[in-house]
């Protein structure tokens, strides 16, 4: 067991000594297409939730473009693949980022996740279960689009945040993702974020297009978490490899994400229960 793993375990036990066991909320963050700023939103959303006193773990589940650690200017030495190979235990692949944010780096290991033997699956489930009660929220930053792996994460999570931009293709693909997932599992609950809008009017118009068709054709209530305006500070922060809520806390994007975080935790949790255990059961009982 590495020194980092021991330190993380001790820290989590110390923090939990005077608090009630947490009911971990499992949330997927996804998008209909790439290039809408989903991973950058996931990271800064997690940091905003952490600032509000929530214990958050970000799980980089984007197999094609896993980059949460890069956005923080870090290089995680271990990822999920090391857990699946039994080379590392769960606390050894949990890393600490800015403001004490915990994260698990992504990679090709997620493809292996859906092809585990029963023995490997038991080990993985036992390890992931160790996270239960240590975090208020676990955010899975999934891949974009309708891959088999992404759909599994979405349908297993308690709720899903869909990120889009006002671009017509992004709107169309976001709705297509919601429609296809609902056809697979009508109980999935979604919330919407519009990113990189020119102004509030454009952002609201984009949101209304999706919300109205979801209501009309899917009988789905799709709450709008918020609109993030196009902010020149965001690409600057990406180049600096510093999350924009830290690098430019007074910028419009940072303020919008912090408001989204406040709105999110003020909303009732999704109906699905069971925390990490429920997530695992739903994920692996799927065909």
Q: Residue 149: what pLDDT?
A: 77
Burial-class residue 218 by CB neighbours within 10 Å (0-12, 13-18, 19+): middle
Return the pLDDT at 276. 83
**C-alpha–C-alpha distance, residues 71 and 242, integer Å:** 6
Q: How far apart are CA 79 and CA 89, in angstroms?
A: 10
Pick from 98, 69, 68: which is nearest to 249 by CA? 98
CA dist., res. 37 & res. 15, Å (int)? 32
Name residue, tokens 């974009």: 144
At residue 82, the pLDDT reads 86
Mean pLDDT of the chain: 88
Structure tokens at 186: 């009508």
- Inform me whether the pLDDT recorded for 199 exceeds 60: yes
Q: Which residue has the higher pLDDT, 86 or 109?
A: 86
pLDDT, one tens digit per residue, over 33-64 is 999 999 999 999 999 999 999 999 999 987 66
Dump pLDDT digits (tens) for 147-156. Answer: 887 888 899 9
193 pLDDT tier (thresholds 50, 70, 90): very high
Among residues of the chain, what percentage have pLDDT more than 90? 64
| Residue, of 7 and 269, whose pLDDT is higher | 269
Q: Rounded mean pLDDT of 105-111?
A: 66
- The two counts, helices (H) then strands (E), for the chain are 14, 8
CB count within 10 Å of CB 169 equals 13
Q: How do strand 94-96 and strand 159-164 relate by DSSP bridges? A: unpaired
> What does the pLDDT read at residue 153?
86
Token couple for 11: 């820290």
Tokens of 14: 């110390």
What is the pLDDT at residue 124?
80
Q: Kindly list the domain boundaries of the chain, sorted by start residue.
A: 3-16+25-284
pLDDT at 159 over 80: yes
Residue 73: the pLDDT is 94
Q: Quick check: 63 and 143 in contact, CB under 8 A?
A: yes
The predicted model gives 84-94 an average pLDDT of: 91
Q: What is the pLDDT of residue 272?
A: 73
- Percentage of the chain lying above the pLDDT 70 cut: 86
Q: How many CB atoms lie within 10 A of CB 79?
A: 21
Q: What is the pLDDT of residue 11?
A: 47
pLDDT value at position 15? 47
What integer pLDDT is reported at residue 271 of this predicted model? Answer: 72
Q: Identify the pLDDT of residue 17.
A: 45
Q: Which pLDDT score is estimated for 14?
A: 39
Q: Answer yes or no: is pLDDT of 19 > 60.
A: no
Q: Residue 216 pLDDT more than 60? A: yes
Confidence at residue 64, expressed as pLDDT on a 0 to 100 scale: 64
- The model's confidence at residue 114, banded by pLDDT at 50, 70 and 90, is low
Domain topology for 3-16+25-284: Rossmann fold (3.40.50)
Mean pLDDT value of segment 109-113: 59
């Amino acid at each position: 067991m590495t020194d980092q793993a021991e330190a993380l375990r001790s820290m989590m036990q110390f923090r939990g000594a005077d608090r009630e066991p947490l009911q971990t909320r499992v949330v997927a963050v996804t998008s209909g297409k790439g290039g809408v700023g989903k991973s950058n939103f996931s990271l800064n959303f997690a940091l905003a939730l952490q600032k509000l006193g929530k214990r958050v773990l970000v799980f980089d589940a984007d197999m094609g473009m896993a980059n949460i650690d890069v956005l923080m200017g870090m290089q995680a030495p271990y990822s999920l693949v090391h857990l699946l190979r039994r080379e590392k235990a769960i606390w050894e692949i949990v890393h600490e980022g800015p403001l004490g944010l915990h994260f698990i780096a992504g990679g090709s290991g997620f493809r292996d996740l859906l092809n585990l033997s029963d023995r490997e699956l038991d080990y993985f489930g036992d390890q992931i279960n160790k996270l239960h009660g240590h975090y208020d929220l676990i955010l899975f930053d999934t891949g974009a689009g309708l891959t088999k792996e992404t759909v599994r994460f979405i349908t297993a999570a308690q709720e899903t945040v869909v990120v889009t931009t006002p671009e017509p293709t992004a709107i169309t693909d976001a709705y297509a993702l919601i429609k296809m997932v609902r056809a697979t599992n009508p109980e999935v609950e979604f919330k919407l974020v519009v990113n990189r809008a020119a102004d509030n009017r454009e952002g609201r118009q984009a949101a209304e297009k999706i919300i109205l068709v979801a209501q009309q054709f899917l009988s789905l209530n799709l709450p709008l978490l918020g609109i993030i305006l196009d902010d020149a500070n965001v690409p600057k922060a990406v180049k600096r490899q510093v999350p924009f809520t830290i690098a430019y806390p007074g910028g419009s994007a940072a303020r919008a994400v912090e408001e989204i975080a406040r709105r999110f935790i003020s909303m009732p949790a999704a109906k699905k229960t069971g925390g990490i255990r429920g997530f695992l059961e739903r994920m692996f009982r799927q065909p």
